[in-house]
Amino acid sequence: MLCHRLLARHPTRLFSTALSVSIATMSTTAAPPLKKMPSALTFDRHAKCSTTKARACTLHLPHGSVPLPIFMPVATQASLKGLTYDQLRETGCMLCLNNTYHLGLKPGQAVLDAVGGAHKLQGWDRNLLTDSGGFQMVSLLQLATVTEEGVRFLSPHDGTPMLLTPEHSISLQNSIGSDIIMQLDDVIATTSPDHARIKEATDRSIRWLDRCIAEHKYPERQNLFCIIQGGLDLELRKQCCEEMVARDTPGIAIGGLSGGEAKEEFCKVVDTCTEILPEHKPRYVMGVGYPEDIVVAVALGADMFDCVWPTRTARFGDAIVSSGTLKLSHKSYADDFSPVEEGCQCVCCRPTDQGGLGLTRAYMHHITAKETVGAHLLTIHNVHYMLTLMGKIRQAIIDDQYPAFLRKFFSDIYGGDRSKFPAWAVGALRGVGVDLLADS
Amino acid sequence: MTTSAMDQSSSSPAMSFTVLASTAPVLAPRVGKLAIAGRKTIATPHHVPLTSRGTVPHVAHDVMRQHTEINSLYAGLEDFIARKQPPVYNTPAADHESPLKKFICVPEDMPLILGPRRFPPIPCPPANTSSSIALLTSTGFTQLDAHDYVQAVQKLRPDIAVGMVDLANKQPGSKRRARMVDRTHAWNRDALEQLYGPSVAEEKKAKSAYFAPILPLDNAQQSLYLDDLESEFRWDISGLALYQSASLGFVPESLADLPRLLFSEPETPHTILRDISLGADLLTTPLLGVSSDAGIAMDFVFPVPDVLQDGSAKPRPLGTDMWKSDHAVDTSSLGEGCTCYACKNYHRAYVHHLLVAKEMTAWAILQIHNFHVMDAFFAGVRESIQRGTFEQDVRMFNCVYTSAMPESTGEGPRLRGYQLPANGPNQPRRMPKAYGLLDGAAQKFAASQSEVATPDAGADELEEQGFAEKA
């Protein structure tokens, strides 16, 4: 049925005269004067770091305001791994992710329509962001093939061939009702050596963006974000940025990263894109979630991040703390009766006399990977840690102390040993005027 | 009848059990109050929430405090002694605190019952010996020495300690029965001696109340032991632990004022009611957790509300299987009119989705709901006994509700080794095989076959597949 709908489409081939020659020669069909996209968000900029490109902003979305920069935990299948939504609320989370691909399979579009969207399904009254499902097609499915019409794959349930088109993805996200929806993009590994394929994917993502914009039914209550592609080719990234910025989506994502590329390359791509992207729109770097990557990406001008790592690693018994991660399943924690992190204000670490649970490393060691409760509790801690980190980043930017914050952050992780600071971070931050190795 | 079980001579003045309403000393339902100084009071009859490694399964500590009424816990020592030097013994705690409660991070006012084994215990193939019992830690089978258990009680200071008991895995023969009695007798005599005996200095005496086990045997077979419980041990024991409902009938009248903790696995609320009518005060109800794991939201009320007492209707199910696809778009609460946290915030469609998606939150939500149903059930039981209408109410309950819990149609959470019985001969696989040497190759072969254009494909299909064209 989807194919049928696709075949019925006759996209008008028009080259926008406003575009420069180099862009026009890209094989994109710039959409006809796009329907003017209303925005369901407002974006307030409060402060900008005087040294780096870091910004402190507030994103006002239909289900509440989100302080930026922000980390968004990933509730893949409409639940954050064992937590009730009150537990998630208590970590301070204002915006979390769902996955279109997973919700499209279970519970399916019909159920989402009948229930009235994902907010109602999961009892979450704050903001949701859904990714388009493109990434899962590539990461989860061996036999996915991408054609111009969409992504063909075999159903993981019964092996029947399925097709995910930009139209279908947007229609699903319209049913989900998330506050931020993502375009379907042609995702390929940044490490792919096939440059022609990367270029094709970039151009196709732009064409798909037009189809997504055309299909989007509720622009007045759901914000469609475009996704910049282009692999590690900075020229391609620039072209993609310009093309997509011209489409004037309410927000902009930088996609295709965190696929195993070198961190230097990752930083260059983010740096290049933020140079071009408009100041007055939120910038979301997809799939990035290690604290070190986030603090650097913020300095490079990014605002939003998501990653399954903090919640996934929690299920393996790893706690994120300011000195790195603690592998609590290691026997060295069996007799350690201190909190997971001293001074942490999450409900797990806070002592009982301050209304917390007063959990100890020894007990987490005792239950981690053995009881589901262990996963619940560490998930709370890790999400809280990430959100607190983002709060500290924001405050440092507002106080115009971000370079000092960066130096302290890396010093805490590497025990003050500057020789251990990762070269990619030192290099990337030097590019925005921060010398990590200098005395603060 | 109102009796205070504990007089001044008791070695455990911290605990008292008061019977508030009862028609007969034994073999009759009764309402009581189990009070331990500085702890939440337990109104009996009550169910005892069972823990696994110190947690109520799927119920995180903050959820337990905020959204459940859990007011006592049972823990098995075997969950904590896998290592040679168990960390639980090193927990820093003040003299008045229980290191075990500190270790599992529950508040000091939570009444905690400690027994040697978790409940329900996994049967252990190794045999018990005259000085130890076999048990299963997360690392394998081991023996717990009776003396070590007493030391554990002294160190961990639970509110209530259940004495060690020699139970047989299968129906014991006459020799085994005699051994069970002898061993249990000796272990408990020694334990009481070491905990409260005259040789123990006054300030060293254990603060934990001690529940003496009654073996799941006939009266006559353990008469020597029961005699000693009635005389020699009488003032050192604060309660009785029973291992089968029938034992409720063997409680001597002179021990009638002691609280009775029944370790059994009732399969339905009907069985729970029968055990209560036989005089059980504290009951284990593994069916609660089993239902949650199976995706079943329990749905029964005691006494049966008037609206459901119309006799003509079909028997009502005791629960709802949330795996059923009828719930896929049902936004009503798990239990009709239920006021629990789960029902106020979530609905059937969500729980159904979570189960199908194998998300842990499903079990957390179901546990909250099922605990609420069970708490309300026991509250109803207590009121009914006090009103004196228990017998009629039970009869009505048996009429209105079906006799078995609904069967689950889905899978539960992944079970860990220490939650599963030991492998026996010819046991079916626990999990379907995830990997096989040839599976991958077979899959590839099947996939590659479908990619090849075959003569039975139509022209359109061939064209689409790019016939004779390099991919």
Q: Which residues of chain B from 326 to 365 reach within 8 Å of chain A, CB to CB?
A: 328-329, 331, 341, 345-347, 349-350, 352-354, 356-357, 359-365
pLDDT in tens, B223-252: 999 999 999 999 999 999 999 999 999 999
What does the pLDDT average to over B318-329?
95
Put simply, the answer to whether A79 touches B354 (Cβ < 8 Å) is yes
Instruction: Band the pLDDT of A2: cuts 50, 70, 90.
Output: very low
Strands B112-115 and A64-68: unpaired
pLDDT score of A209 more than 60: yes
Residue B185 in contact with residue B228, Cβ under 8 Å? Answer: yes
The confidence score (pLDDT) of residue B109 equals: 95
pLDDT in tens, A301-356: 999 999 999 999 999 999 999 999 999 999 999 999 999 999 999 999 999 999 99
Q: Would you call A44 a catalytic residue per the annotation?
A: no
Instruction: Band the pLDDT of A129: cuts 50, 70, 90.
Output: very high
**Mean pLDDT score across all residues of chain B:** 89
What six digits make up the tokens of A440? Answer: 């603060």
Instruction: Return the bridge partners of A74, or none.
Output: A97
Q: Which of A203, A303, A306, A318 is catalytic?
A: A306
* Distance (Å, whole) CA A255 – CA A273: 11
Biggest alpha carbon–alpha carbon distance for chain B: 98
Is A85 an 8 Å CB contact of chain B?
yes
Q: Which residues of chain B from 74 to 103 reach within 8 Å of chain A, CB to CB?
A: 80, 83, 87, 90-92, 103
What does the pLDDT average to over A185-210?
89
Q: Is A437 helix (H, G, I), strand (E, B) or coil?
A: coil
The confidence score (pLDDT) of residue A6 equals: 34
What does the pLDDT average to over B123-140?
92
The confidence score (pLDDT) of residue B80 equals: 97
Which residue do the tokens 């931050």 mark? A429
The confidence score (pLDDT) of residue A396 equals: 97
Domain boundaries, chain B: 1-284, 300-410
pLDDT score of A383 more than 70: yes
pLDDT score of A18 more than 50: no
Residue B254 in contact with residue B230, Cβ under 8 Å? Answer: yes
- In eight-state DSSP terms, residue B15 is E
* Distance (Å, whole) CA B62 – CA B60: 6
Instruction: Band the pLDDT of A274: cuts 50, 70, 90.
Output: very high
Q: Which residues of chain B from 219 to 248 reach within 8 Å of chain A, CB to CB?
A: none
Q: Minimal CA–CA distance to A123: which of B370, B292, B351, B67?
A: B351
CB-nearest partner of A357 from B62, B331, B359: B62
The confidence score (pLDDT) of residue A163 equals: 86
Q: Would you call A306 a catalytic residue per the annotation?
A: yes
Cα B228 to the chain's mean position, in Å? 29
Instruction: Choose from B51, B55, B81 for mutation: most chain A CBs within 10 A.
Output: B55
* Distance (Å, whole) CA A385 – CA A290: 12
The confidence score (pLDDT) of residue B456 equals: 55
pTM of structure:
0.89
User: Which residues, other chains included, contact A64 with Cβ-Cβ below 8 Å and sequence gap of 6+?
Assistant: A94, A126, A127
Q: Is B466 helix (H, G, I), strand (E, B) or coil?
A: coil
The confidence score (pLDDT) of residue A158 equals: 76
Instruction: Choose from B360, B363, B439, B461 for mutation: most chain A CBs within 10 A.
Output: B360
The confidence score (pLDDT) of residue A187 equals: 85
What six digits make up the tokens of A93? Answer: 């989370």
Of the listed ranges B169-178, B211-220, B408-417, B454-463, the one predicted with least confidence = B454-463
Put simply, the answer to whether A376 touches B92 (Cβ < 8 Å) is no
The confidence score (pLDDT) of residue A20 equals: 36
The confidence score (pLDDT) of residue A374 equals: 96
Domain boundaries, chain A: 43-306, 313-419
The confidence score (pLDDT) of residue B179 equals: 95
Strands B112-115 and B160-162: parallel
What does the pLDDT average to over B186-208?
93
Q: Which fold has domain B1-284?
A: TIM Barrel (3.20.20)
Backbone angles phi, psi at B226, to 5 degrees: -65, -40
Backbone angles phi, psi at B431, to 5 degrees: -125, 150
* Distance (Å, whole) CA B114 – CA B121: 13
What six digits make up the tokens of B398? Answer: 């048996």
pLDDT score of A17 more than 60: no
pLDDT in tens, A214-253: 999 999 999 999 999 999 999 999 999 999 999 999 999 9
More confident residue, B351 or B169: B351
**Distance between A214 CA and the closest CA of chain B, angstroms:** 27
Domain A43-306 class in CATH = alpha beta
The confidence score (pLDDT) of residue A159 equals: 76
